[in-house]
Amino acid sequence: MAENGDVKLHIAMLPWLAFGHLIPFLELAKLMASKGHNISFISTPRNIDRLPKIPQTLTQFINFIKINLPEVENLPENAESTRDLPANKVPYLKIACDGLRKPMVDFLNNTSLDWIICDFATYWLGPIAAEHGVRTAYFSIYPALFLGFYGSPETAMHGDADRETLEEFIKLPKWVSFESEVRPSLFQLTRVRNNKLTVGVQNVKDSYRLGATIRACDAVIVRSILDFEPDWLNLLKELYQKPVIPVGLLPTTVNHDDNDNASWLETKQWLDKHEKGSVVYIAFGTETKPSQYELTQLALRCVPEIYLTWGGEGRGGKMVFQRST
């Protein structure tokens, strides 16, 4: 992002209001701060207060900026992330997020920035930043394969006549020139579609938000590595005609303290009972709540014994399955 490695940048970051997005954005902020760049990490007060603490060595480089969500009809009070809402209320959170235009304009008017790294939801931010002479980058927490299935920004925004159904969407797209057996599953797409409800003309589709964000930005950052999906990352460069930068998988770097974290202590005690290399770790995501059927199927099909944890902040859970046959 700078030709001279000694140049230190001021970078603002505006993630979507979900902890599955906030946490990777924070990890990227910590990575850039460790290189000496100054970061303005922007979110709502309640979300910022719930973020993990950053290392003391980085506090001088990361400034947390709190902006308030506007009030939106049907959005519960104090709901500032998807964690605070049932799935059918999330569209109202996106409408509230669209109300952050003015606070972001005020921020740009009063801050000297080099870049803004944004998420898919704030599709309106690119043109605003350009008016202020600030470059933007879209940071995808999803792998390049996910983006590749959406195609070019225009295809993501307006759709593809050849893919009207979910069954058609999971087929390898016509713009993919290489062979690949890896693709989204029908189960995943059905679940995502079932969680999206239309709430009126203000509710902009996620695919449109994604395409418009990518079209307006100067670069795309992907949470991936070339060794993992080189063909898909190269495809994105062709589709977007702009730099595509893999920044690694960005695993969470929170340090667990056995004396302060009872949940981690319980997990550690369970792990210590097992031989090295005998445990399979399955990540459901920050806010996923598996159904009883899904948990049972994992217990029956994966391994003889499985320790499952999911969610957080009082909304998650844990369970141990033991299979005798």
Residues noted as catalytic: 21, 119
* Two tokens, residue 305: 């014994």
Place of tokens 């079932």: 194
Query: Which tokens in the block code for residue 299?
Result: 């217990």
CB 221 within 8 A of CB 214: no
Helix/strand/coil for 43: strand
d(CA 136, CA 130): 8
CA-based R_g, the chain, Å: 21
Q: For residues 37 and 66, is the Cβ–Cβ distance under 8 A?
A: no
Determine the 3-state secondary structure of 52 from DSSP: coil
Element (H, E) at 314: none
Span between the terminal Cα atoms of the chain, in Å: 55
Checking DSSP bridges between strand 317-322 and strand 305-310, what pairing results, if any?
antiparallel
Q: Nearest CA to 149 among 198, 207, 197, 194?
A: 207
Task: Give the integer Cα–Cα distance in Å for 126 and 267.
Answer: 43
Between vectors from CA 85 to CA 192 and to CA 284, what angle results, nearest 5°? 50
Question: In one letter, which amino acid is 209?
Answer: R
